Amino acid sequence: MIAIGCDHAGFEMKKLVMEYLDQIGEEYQDKGFLVFDKNDDYPVAAKAVGRAVSKGEADRGILICGTGIGMSLCANKFRGVRAVVASDVFSVRYSRMHNDANVICFGARVMGIGLIKELLNVFLSQPFEGGRHAERVKEFDRILDEN
């Protein structure tokens, strides 16, 4: 299951992304915002999606704001969340293969739905390589423990 969220800047794009998830048969839960309001801020939606992924209620997360940046900064505050902002296929592929990324953040003001669909296909299908990368990824949450 995918948890999806947006702020005011990502509201329209989230609708298009959900339409695409319906088309490809991916199950998702809309964590908001559910109605457009210009005061709907990214930390609120990032918290809802970050928490769902961190607690294991969702396997993956999708977050959409103006740039994707604010969403990723907030989502990465949660244990077990590995959120990335990426706008090219190579980076998305390696974010799965090497970093086991579980949340992807898109910028509705910098990307179109065509590119987002391509990137989602990679994000949702590319397996993690594990091995030496698994040890590195385990380090992420140790940083939270140590600080």
Least Cβ distance, residue 84 to ligand RB5 (angstroms): 14
In the complex with ligand RB5, the residue whose CB is nearer, 100 or 106, is 106
In the complex with ligand RB5, the residue whose CB is nearer, 69 or 97, is 69
One-character DSSP codes across 17-76:
HHHHHHHTT--EEE-S--S--TT--HHHHHHHHHHHHHTTS-SEEEEEESSSHHHHHHHT
Enumerate binding residues for ligand RB5 (CB under 6 A): 7, 9, 42, 65-67, 69-70
Least Cβ distance, residue 44 to ligand RB5 (angstroms): 12
129 SS3 class: coil
- Residue of this chain nearest to ligand RB5 (CB atom): 70
In the complex with ligand RB5, the residue whose CB is nearer, 105 or 120, is 105
Supply the residues annotated as catalytic: 65, 98
Least Cβ distance, residue 72 to ligand RB5 (angstroms): 8
80 and 53 in contact (C-beta within 8 Å)? Answer: yes
